[in-house]
């Protein structure tokens, strides 16, 4: 595997950084790959722009910054507007489809997959797990980290006492992604 670059974008309070951390942890600790994480967020605790840059590779990573991601995960319209033009031609866009309207300005060959992550999280009883739904969706669509690795990373990264809810959110996103892939082929 060559180096895969992933950017996660959204708003503070949506769990953007945790999503990126779980992807990196799944790759590095549980799948035995190399991973880096760069995070950025506005000065406000909630509601400001927030992003995580994750690189995953079989070899050590010399440059951790993501310029043109292979995979873009977006959870807010502003993140889509800001980061979609940077997506690598032929890349993969994963987006919250009840918040984001995908336009025709995407780079050539981009494959876009939408999920109602917020609604699915609400159906599980807690809107805050939308980031974990998106993490599962990422694992299900891209296959860049294994199901087992991502599940273990979720389990070891979420607050004590919330493991069951978060694992259900992860599985919901993963299954949704696998179903979309099956329909697309």
Rounded CA-CA distance 126/10 in Å is 18
Q: How does pLDDT run across 157-179, given as a tens digit for each residue?
A: 999 999 999 999 999 999 999 99
- State the pTM of this model: 0.95
In total, how many domains does the chain have?
A: 1
Rounded CA-CA distance 70/4 in Å is 6
CB atoms < 10 A from the CB of 139, how many?
27
The domain that holds 11 is classified in CATH as 3.40.920.10
Q: How does pLDDT run across 16-64, given as a tens digit for each residue?
A: 999 999 999 999 999 999 999 999 876 655 667 899 999 999 999 999 9
3-class SS of residue 144: coil
| Closest C-alpha among 53, 49, 23 to residue 37 | 53
Q: Are 154 and 115 in contact (CB under 8 A)?
A: no
The encoded tokens of residue 183 equal 């329909």
pLDDT at 38 (0 to 100): 96
Rounded CA-CA distance 125/105 in Å is 35
Q: Are 79 and 19 in contact (CB under 8 A)?
A: no
Q: 47 Cβ partners below 8 Å, 6+ apart?
A: 11, 12, 13
Q: Are 141 and 161 in contact (CB under 8 A)?
A: no
- Whole domain around residue 176: which residue ranges? 4-184
Chain-centroid distance, C-alpha 167: 15
Rounded CA-CA distance 98/130 in Å is 12
Q: How does pLDDT run across 102-120, given as a tens digit for each residue?
A: 998 899 999 999 999 999 9
| Sign, CA torsion 59/64/70/75 | positive
């Amino acid at each position: 595997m060559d180096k895969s670059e992933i950017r996660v974008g959204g708003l503070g309070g949506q769990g953007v950084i945790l999503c990126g951390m779980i992807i990196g942890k799944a790759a590095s600790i549980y799948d035995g790959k190399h991973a880096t994480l760069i995070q950025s967020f506005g000065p406000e605790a909630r509601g400001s722009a927030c992003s995580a840059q994750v690189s995953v590779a079989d070899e050590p990573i010399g440059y951790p910054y993501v310029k043109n991601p292979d995979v873009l995960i977006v959870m807010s319209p502003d993140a889509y507007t800001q980061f979609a033009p940077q997506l690598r031609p032929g890349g993969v866009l994963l987006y919250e489809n009840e918040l984001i309207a995908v336009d025709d300005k995407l780079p050539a060959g981009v494959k876009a997959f939408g999920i109602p992550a917020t609604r699915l999280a609400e159906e599980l009883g807690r809107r805050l797990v939308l980031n974990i739904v998106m993490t599962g969706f990422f694992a299900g669509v891209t296959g860049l980290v294994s199901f087992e690795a991502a599940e273990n990373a979720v389990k070891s990264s979420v607050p004590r006492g919330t493991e069951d809810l978060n694992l259900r959110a992860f599985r919901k996103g993963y299954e949704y992604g696998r179903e979309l892939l099956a329909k697309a082929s």
